Structures are given as structure tokens and as C-alpha cells.
């Protein structure tokens, strides 16, 4: 019998590692396909991103469109997009933690 890491049979451990890698990839793909939505300014700006961190849409309430205050609108868009991206990143990190055991620098 071939011995693997730590004296354990190598084939079984390699199968477990391969299965874990496949599970991680499937989880990443599933989360990558999800959409995450966040708002800013009390809901006047809504941003939606994918788990792959791509902006899908920005929806503006008519109440927020003020040609004399473009800076506020831009800030609200940035805030909504960043919140949606944070939600996607948090979900991915939480999902990957079950595979990495919380080891820093793994993903």
C-alpha cells in the first residue's frame, strides 16, 4: 500500500483534496452567478452587482436627480456600488472559509 501524507494511504487523501477543490470551484461559480443589490441615500440609488464583482445595473429615483447637485448623486452611486460589492465579497469569503478553515491568504 502506498503511503501518502502523514502515513495515510495516498489515494484516499488525494481524492478528498480533489473533491474539496471541485466543491470550492462549484461554490465560487454559484456565488459568481448570484446578484447582490444595495442602496444608498435611503433607497434613492440602487446598485446591483454579480458575485464576480461586475456592475449589472444602477437605478436612480427621480427624487435624486438634481442637475445642481451632481456631486451628491455621484457619491450615492459610489456608495451603493461599494455596498453591493462588499455583500458579494462577504458571501464569497464566508463560503470559502468552510474550505480553508479561516486560514489567511487562501482566497
Q: List domains and CATH numbers for the chain.
A: 29-90 (3.30.1310.10)
- The region, left, alpha or beta by phi > 0 then psi within -120 to 50, assigned to residue 60 is beta
pLDDT in tens, 40-90: 999 999 999 999 999 999 999 988 888 888 898 999 999 999 999 999 999
> pLDDT value at position 106?
52
> pLDDT value at position 58?
94
Q: Which residues are within 8 A (CB) of 21 and not within 5 positions of it... i.e. 6 or more apart?
A: none
**What's the mean per-residue pLDDT of the chain?**
86
8 pLDDT above the threshold of 70? no
Are 44 and 72 contacting, i.e. CB atoms less than 8 angstroms apart? no
Is pTM beyond 0.75? Reply is no
> pLDDT value at position 99?
82
27 pLDDT above the threshold of 80? yes
Amino acid at each position: 500500500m502506498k503511503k501518502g501524507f502523514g502515513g495515510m494511504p495516498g489515494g484516499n487523501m488525494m481524492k478528498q483534496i480533489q473533491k474539496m477543490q471541485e466543491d470550492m470551484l462549484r461554490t465560487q461559480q454559484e456565488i459568481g452567478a448570484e446578484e447582490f443589490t444595495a442602496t444608498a441615500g435611503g433607497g434613492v440609488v440602487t446598485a446591483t452587482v454579480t458575485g464576480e464583482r461586475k456592475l449589472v445595473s444602477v437605478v436612480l429615483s427621480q427624487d435624486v436627480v438634481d442637475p445642481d447637485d451632481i456631486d451628491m448623486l455621484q457619491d450615492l452611486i459610489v456608495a451603493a456600488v461599494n455596498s453591493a460589492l462588499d455583500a458579494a465579497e462577504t458571501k464569497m469569503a464566508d463560503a470559502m472559509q468552510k474550505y480553508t478553515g479561516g486560514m489567511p491568504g487562501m482566497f
